[in-house]
Structure 1
């Protein structure tokens, strides 16, 4: 409840909040997504020796980055960018990308004894930063078209037929994930969350159905594990390779597989969002700092991945839950104040000397999804 002395505003998500406060649901969703990102990377080495780990890996990768892209699109604008927004692209995406690429070159030289500096090939998780930048650049143009969502799906499916669209500047993944980003923007533009009151009420059957759908996805991943290994299904969820590379030769129907993975990503993301708590939780505040977790967790995991200590861990029933708990711990730790204070200049650089108008420099953003871009606005009449 709110007092009369503290005016309230009905947000575009249909929830009533005090002015200046964030909607807890989105921070809860962001933190849950980033935990899944850390989990997916943490258990990657286990999938070679454990069918259970591989099934969990498939279930997570089927929707965790699509969900992140949907959130990013939801808080993005399709109008012409202002000068301040253009500065944000530099400070929030381009500069962190360059800084962490350099750090990755140094890390690889220390751990592997070699480094191959190439700014056009994003290291490990950095592809998503470039994807966000490209998403925001193309969205105003897509928004001018009829059926922008349909066009984004066509672009994603069609890109897989072109082998020359590769990982250079993460273009293949960017085009692959484009429908999820556009879907998030489309949901906000058409006030879908508000009109259906999706954050005001949640019937019990919706939660049960969502849990059942995610459980079904896990069972399908487990039941067909031999087939999924044979066809290397996990690479389809990366949206990174051309169809000819995934199938070893051209097949006209390959686009239907991409279309199916998009549909699966949307369905499981919807189920995931249906289970995210709407109210404040002990981890709600951590959802504001997912940029730190996203950029830093790979450096925590990298030595373990390269040393081979994550291979052959047995029994799976013990080590898989341990890795899940460690993933939560790593995500939580990297979002804490001491870590943010120590790494803030790297994660959120603000070089005043770089800009002709330093007054345009934004404040801290704290997350890679652009959530702080959105201004709360009054509920539309009718």
Structure 2
């Protein structure tokens, strides 16, 4: 009869460190580059069909893709005190800080400013959208067919003229299906089941490249049509159908644009590299790029450089290269150290329990980036 093995004594080994998935860091960085690029070429679109075509291609899917990523890393269970505090420190406070900075900037540059914290300046609408996404997700998760409900809400909200850009409500409800889709994919482990995170078959990459190429060609070739129907405004998910001059069946247009965004986002994710590269870790700091890049671009937009420059084939690649450079620089450590109090404020005086303002270890930021402090 064998002698029972005595229980192990001594210190319990630490839990294995959670391994990062390079795909998501790569996807986040690619998305934030598209955000910078879209804002950089916006003024060029008035004089260049090529710029407008690229602009429409980017706006057709880049924010839906960002919403999918954010939803993928969001939790639908009852929020803990720490997670509730993070909504305040990671979203609400940065919004108030940067909205105040934009008000000051406009006053200094333009000589006038009308502070209105219910109307987000430029890029800040997505912060409010993220806050509302996280607040409603636990309730959506209680429903049967949450995706279907959010699609219905997105389509119907365009018919309601009283739902506008106040607190980004129109855009939030318009993009809610993509955030919910990201959560649904993670909740049901769809990517793991089909091994989509680790593997990419060559024909999938070829098909994804073809899809984006065809979409880019269509955006450029039919650019006069898209300009006539004001397609860029439709892609913002911001104005009501009546404000856009749309017919009674405009809900079908919104549904079609959502389907196109889903296809293009899938193609985008299929092309995102799965390995780790020298730039991969920058995907952990997309919030810094998102909040700061508009201040970098603002002087160039205001002095006319991005409006009256000759829109040649050489100029556009240059703007693309500069956009990548801006994203890289704003994600570097020196920039993060300087601007951390603005992007990641931790005011202990604000909370009844001061520990809620502490900087915990690895966590998910509002854009879904899981990273150290």
User: Normalising by structure 2, what TM-score?
Assistant: 0.93
Let me know the Cα RMSD of the aligned residues: 1.8
Q: Compute the displacement of 1:281 (Å).
A: 1.1
- 1:113 corresponds, among 93, 111, 114, to 111
- The answer to whether the Cα contact below 8 Å between 2:284 and 2:370 also exists between their aligned partners in 1 is no
Q: Compute the displacement of 1:19 (Å).
A: 2.3
Q: d(CA) in 1 for partners of 2:117 and 2:364? A: 24
Partner of 2:5: none
Partner of 1:254: 250
Q: Compute the displacement of 1:362 (Å).
A: 4.7
- The answer to whether the Cα contact below 8 Å between 1:84 and 1:362 also exists between their aligned partners in 2 is no
- 1:297 corresponds, among 293, 297, 309, to 293
- 1:44 corresponds, among 42, 45, 50, to 42
Partner of 2:349: 353
- The answer to whether the Cα contact below 8 Å between 1:290 and 1:367 also exists between their aligned partners in 2 is no
1:283 aligned to 2:279? yes
Q: d(CA) in 1 for partners of 2:352 and 2:370? A: 24
Partner of 1:170: 168
Q: Compute the displacement of 1:321 (Å).
A: 0.6
1:77 aligned to 2:75? yes
Partner of 1:335: 331
**Structure 2 stretches lacking a partner, 5+ long:** 1-12
Partner of 1:35: 33
Q: Compute the displacement of 1:315 (Å).
A: 4.6
Q: d(CA) in 2 for partners of 1:366 and 1:136? A: 13
1:186 aligned to 2:181? no
Partner of 2:318: 322
- 2:131 corresponds, among 130, 133, 140, to 133
Q: d(CA) in 2 for partners of 1:264 and 1:110? A: 41
Q: d(CA) in 2 for partners of 1:185 and 1:83? A: 21
Q: 1:308 to 1:138 in 2, by over 3 A?
A: same
Q: d(CA) in 2 for partners of 1:139 and 1:105? A: 31
Q: d(CA) in 2 for partners of 1:88 and 1:219? A: 42
Q: d(CA) in 2 for partners of 1:176 and 1:266? A: 14
Partner of 2:6: none
1:34-73 deviation line (CA, Å, top 9, x unaligned): 0000000000000000000000000000010000000000
**Structure 1 stretches lacking a partner, 5+ long:** 1-6, 10-17, 374-382
- The answer to whether the Cα contact below 8 Å between 1:290 and 1:368 also exists between their aligned partners in 2 is no
- 1:235 corresponds, among 233, 236, 242, to 233
Q: d(CA) in 1 for partners of 2:28 and 2:228? A: 33
Q: d(CA) in 2 for partners of 1:314 and 1:130? A: 36
- The answer to whether the Cα contact below 8 Å between 1:289 and 1:366 also exists between their aligned partners in 2 is no
Q: Compute the displacement of 1:318 (Å).
A: 1.3
User: Normalising by structure 1, what TM-score?
Assistant: 0.91
Q: d(CA) in 2 for partners of 1:290 and 1:307? A: 27
Q: Compute the displacement of 1:360 (Å).
A: 2.2
Q: Compute the displacement of 1:266 (Å).
A: 0.6
1:88 aligned to 2:50? no
Partner of 1:13: none
What SS does the aligned partner of 1:243 have?
coil
Q: d(CA) in 1 for partners of 2:33 and 2:359? A: 25
Partner of 1:376: none
Moved over 4 A (4+): 364-367
Q: d(CA) in 1 for partners of 2:366 and 2:316? A: 28
What SS does the aligned partner of 1:244 have?
coil
What SS does the aligned partner of 2:173 have?
helix
1:308 aligned to 2:304? yes
Q: 1:366 to 1:308 in 2, by over 3 A?
A: farther
- 1:57 corresponds, among 55, 58, 61, to 55
- The answer to whether the Cα contact below 8 Å between 2:283 and 2:369 also exists between their aligned partners in 1 is no
1:164-194 deviation line (CA, Å, top 9, x unaligned): 0000000000000000000000101111000
